[in-house]
């Protein structure tokens, strides 16, 4: 109790956003070490590859953590985590946007203004898997597009303006998550099928993300949600 009194009320929010700033600093440090390269960077190596993997995986992890908040509050009683749900979602979008920009526009976006103009030529093709050397990129792009309206409406003004439609709109995250996870899994599968690239098969993490995403979506199925809520209520009464 004494420790709780010493902590500010919004200590979790401050901790999460402080950690996110450290992750941003790490991404900036990686970006500072790369040389300008024209996009798309589908087969990047070295520091550029580290930067792309870091931003992409961080975005996916944060998106999943944001979706953990509601079941954690509903079934475990950890209501404080709801205070960081929006922050996690917005940071997930931010890292996903940076990841997508670097993949399409290349690292020359950091130093060459005309690279932003050329970027517009790359955008349409990303949504057609058959036209890409790496078809998995399209699914990541679709997930990012679905997150854009969610990020833009994650404020009280939008909530009042949209009313009941705000919740309907934000259910798009239940489509964005499987698309993002499939993008990551498909990348691992694609690279494993290309021996010339010298990329060893790495299905462990992708399958872990598939499992976790499946669980996060499963607990939102009404029948499952009701059963979990009954169990949570019964456990609370038993321990009180």
Say yes or no to pLDDT of 71 above 90: yes
Q: With beta carbons less than 8 A apart as the criterion, state whether 88 and 66 touch.
A: yes
Does the pTM of the predicted model rise above 0.85?
Answer: yes
DSSP-assigned states of every residue in 28-40? HHHHHTPPP-PSP
Distance, in Å, from the CA atom of 240 to the CA atom of 227, rounded to the nearest integer, reads 20
pLDDT of 1 reads 46
Q: What is the pLDDT of residues 100-115, one digit of tens each?
A: 999 999 999 998 889 9
Q: What is the DSSP letter of 74?
A: H
Q: What is the pLDDT of residue 4?
A: 54
C-alpha angle 68-226-182 in degrees, rounded to nearest 5: 40
Q: pLDDT tens digit string along 145-188?
A: 999 999 999 999 999 999 999 999 999 999 999 999 999 999 99
Q: Give the residue-averaged pLDDT of 64-84.
A: 95
pLDDT at 143 over 80: yes
Q: Which residues contact 54 (CB under 8 A, 6 or more apart)?
A: 26, 27, 30
Residue 239 pLDDT level (bands cut at 50, 70, 90): low
The pLDDT, as a whole number, for residue 195 is 78
Cα angle vertex 9, ends 5, 12, to 5°? 110
Structure tokens at 225: 């949600």
């Amino acid at each position: 109790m004494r420790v709780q009194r010493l902590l500010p009320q919004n200590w979790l929010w401050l901790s999460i956003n402080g950690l996110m700033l450290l992750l941003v600093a790490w991404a900036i440090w990686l970006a500072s070490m790369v040389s300008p390269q024209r996009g798309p960077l589908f087969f990047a190596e070295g520091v550029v590859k580290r930067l792309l993997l870091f931003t992409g995986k961080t975005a996916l992890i944060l998106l999943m953590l944001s979706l953990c908040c509601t079941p954690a509050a509903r079934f475990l009683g950890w209501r404080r985590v709801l205070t960081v749900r929006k922050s996690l979602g917005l940071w997930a979008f931010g890292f996903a946007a940076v990841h997508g920009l670097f993949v399409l526009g290349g690292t020359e976006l950091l130093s060459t203004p005309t690279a932003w103009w050329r970027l517009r030529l790359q955008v349409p093709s990303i949504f057609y898997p058959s036209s890409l050397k790496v078809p998995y990129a399209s699914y990541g792009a679709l997930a990012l597009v679905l997150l854009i309206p969610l990020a833009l409406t994650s404020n009280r003004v939008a909530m009042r303006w949209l009313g009941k439609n705000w919740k309907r709109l934000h259910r798009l995250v239940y489509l964005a998550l499987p698309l993002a996870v499939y993008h990551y899994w498909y990348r691992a599968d694609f690279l494993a099928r290309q021996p010339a690239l010298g990329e060893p098969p790495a299905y462990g993490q992708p399958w872990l993300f598939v499992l976790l995403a499946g669980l996060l979506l499963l607990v939102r199925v009404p029948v499952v949600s009701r059963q979990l809520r009954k169990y949570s209520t019964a456990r609370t009464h038993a321990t009180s």
